[in-house]
Structure 1
């Protein structure tokens, strides 16, 4: 594993915490894959909405959110692992806020498009 640059201790954390961190990483990846599948499904299966380009926009929103989650999941896993090894508090993350706001925006957009026909 990566050594700490500031000379902090590098202790092996309890394996249960390491495995929990790995499960959390995999949950982020599963969420990204679900958004990827949803984006592809919207783009390929959903009939066009009454608003021109809306299907493509909704699809791209899902795909973009999937890409953000996939790109941030490994650095988050690594930062948590380093903090556990160094005995430091776990780092905060904006990923939960980004996911919540992103899903809310996708949901509201889909709801408006369904109502508009």
Structure 2
């Protein structure tokens, strides 16, 4: 697929985020339990995003005396960025899964959970280093 084709597909995918009636018009109505399970998964992703965003604000606001400015900013921004990505990925995955359920296709595979786990693990290790060595400004 060319760059232009990928851009068009991405634009259409984002358009579906705000057009649930278009998603519902595809395929057949599934057993409602599948749609509700998909929604619960979406909400779990949103809770994860909120936790990451809250952690980013906590690092920025409450570790002012314990970290140098650049360490605090780097940790806070990484957590905030992870939260934003998690929100965007949550809605994208919800739409893709809902379409697959309605069309009787396999659920979409995603590398995002692994990437998010690695991000959280790296940030956790960075925070362990900060706590152990106490990088005070």
Aligned residue number for residue 115 of structure 1: 132
Task: Give the alignment's Cα RMSD to 1 decimal.
Answer: 1.8
Contact 1:40 1:59 in 2 (8 A): yes
Q: Does residue 120 of structure 2 align to residue 103 of structure 1?
A: yes
Aligned residue number for residue 76 of structure 1: 93
> Under a length normalisation based on structure 1, what TM-score does the superposition of the two structures give?
0.89
- Is the alpha carbon distance of 1:50 and 1:75 closer, same or farther for their aligned partners in structure 2, counting shifts above 3 Å? closer
Which consecutive residues of structure 2, in runs of 5 or more, have no partner in the other structure? 1-20
Aligned residue number for residue 2 of structure 1: 22
> Under a length normalisation based on structure 2, what TM-score does the superposition of the two structures give?
0.76
Aligned residue number for residue 80 of structure 2: 63
CA positional deviation for 1:46: 1.6
Q: Which has the higher helix share?
A: 2
One of 32, 35, 52 as aligned partner of 2:52: 35
Report the Cα distance in structure 2 between the residues aligned to 1:57 and 1:19, rounded to whole angstroms.
Answer: 37
Which consecutive residues of structure 1, in runs of 5 or more, have no partner in the other structure? 4-8
Report the Cα distance in structure 1 between the residues aligned to 2:65 and 2:125, rounded to whole angstroms.
Answer: 17
Number of residue pairs aligned between Structure 1 and Structure 2: 113
